[in-house]
Amino acid sequence: RNSGRIAWRRDVASAGVEIQTQPRNRIPARSGRPEKPRIAIDAVFFQDYLTGIARVWEEILSVWVKDGFADHLLILDRDGFGPQVSNLMRRDLPAHDYERISEDRELLQNVCDDEGVDLFVSTFCTTPTRTPSIFMAYDMIPEVIGINAIAEPMWKEKSEAIGYANCKGYVCISHNTAKDLKSHFPAIDPASVHVAHCGVNPVFRPAEESEIAEFRKKIGIDRPYFLLVGQRKSYKNGILFFNGFAGLPGKDRFAIVNSGARPIEEEFLKLVPDTPIAYGRMSDEELRLAYAGAEALVFPSFYEGFGMPVVEAMASGCPVITTPMGSLAEVAGPAALFVGPMDVAGMTQALIEVQQPETRKALVAAGLQRAQSFRWTDMADKIKAVLLAAVEKP
């Protein structure tokens, strides 16, 4: 039975996310000192991960390089890990360590003092001790789904960063994230919370049939397939799809493709014992083709701060089946089929419905239109406005 499990790129990372283990190619730093107002951006997230938050920052920074706002920025690279964006002024810092959070804050404050920094922004949850900051809120997953934030140093640091006395404002990547932030931290001034939706990279666009055929050949799939993206366990709720697929009439006509590095969990494989499955890490171009060739992206998450795969799929001409949870209804709008996060029969019905030509045609058209409303330039402009306004705050 396992002969049908095809791993076309077995780069398995712990915890199911792409973990940084060695620095990527170092991007040469731009010489000079940032103009005033001077804004430091701690690229700490890049130290450990290359997931969606890293993509967000590389896209934003690329926009700011083009429009000149990068003239005001100093990027703090952690231990050789930093964004792969050229023409940025940089300063090397030691790696962040959750066992030494207090020392890290003092280090950041010393850097801010030395560089004459007017405003500090972290790509994750670090803070200095005095310099004004803006907090970036990508999601409220630990707070909403009940992770013990006090017991985990990562979430403790996040909570303290949100409550940092010199925080001048908050930027959330969805209205739902903003709502959850204000709900879980009621002391926050609602007027200080701003929303800037993520964009979608132009690489994600519809594909020609010949491109899709070549991609399917490459991954060893000879039939229509449903697509999963990223992790499947915990709040990602992959079990809903596998249970729904198990009840799909004529399921032997379909395969499953997962753009994720880890093998499919045995508990899921037991539900689809005879279904061909391909999984592996994909480049953006491969992911575009995976979206474009899929019967649908199935994204059954219990909670998302944004849901970037939904927009990427829509931009690639791929129908989307998702839940109305977290930010997903906000992002997908009227351009997806929605299923309750525990509604197995509803998932099976959605898998049937998306095969209907008229339904597919309508979803593809609505998705392409919806995706056009998410632009990195819009996000970068909104964040830039928040940063500049924060500098002017007394």
At residue 134's C-alpha, the angle toward residues 132 and 136, to 5°, is 155
State the DSSP code for 25: P
pLDDT in tens, 71-122: 999 999 999 889 999 999 999 999 999 999 999 999 999 999 999 999 999 9
**203 contacts 308 by C-beta, under 8 angstroms:** no
Length of the chain: 394
Regions of the chain short of the pLDDT cut 70: 1-25, 147-151
pLDDT at residue number 150 = 55
This prediction has a pTM of 0.91
Query: Mean pLDDT in the chain?
Result: 92
Q: What is the pLDDT of residue 1?
A: 33
Classify each residue of 12-29 as buried b or exposed e, where b means 16 or more C-beta atoms within 10 Å of its C-beta.
ebeebbbebeeeeeebeb
DSSP 28: P
The three-state DSSP-derived secondary structure of 247-260 is CCCCHHHCEEEEEC
How far is C-alpha 147 from the chain's CA centre? 19
Q: Determine contact, residues 320/343, Cβ cutoff 8 Å.
A: no
The answer to whether 229 and 204 are in contact (CB under 8 A) is no
Equal CATH topology for 18-199+376-392 and 201-371:
yes
187 near 163, Cβ under 8 Å? yes
Strand residue runs (E) in the chain: 5-9, 39-42, 73-78, 89-93, 119-122, 133-137, 167-172, 193-195, 225-229, 255-259, 277-280, 296-299, 320-322, 337-338
Supply the pLDDT for residue 154: 86
Question: Residue 309 and residue 321: Cα distance in Å, rounded?
Answer: 11
Domain limits, the chain: 18-199+376-392, 201-371
Among 224, 321, 228, 216, smallest CA distance to 268 is for 228
Contact 324, 283 (CB under 8 A): no
CA distance 195 to 177: 9
- pLDDT value of position 4: 56
Q: Which among 96, 120, 141, 144 is positioned nearest to 40, based on CA atoms?
A: 120
| 18-199+376-392 is a CATH 3.40.50.720 domain | no
For the chain, the straight-line distance linking the first and the last C-alpha, in angstroms and rounded, comes to 66
| CATH topology (fold) of 201-371 | Rossmann fold (3.40.50)
Nearest CA to 393 out of 128, 116, 132, 191 is that of: 132
How many C-beta atoms lie closer than 10 Å to residue 377's C-beta? Answer: 14
Q: Which residues contact 159 (CB under 8 A, 6 or more apart)?
A: 149
Cβ-contact 6, 276 below 8 angstroms: yes
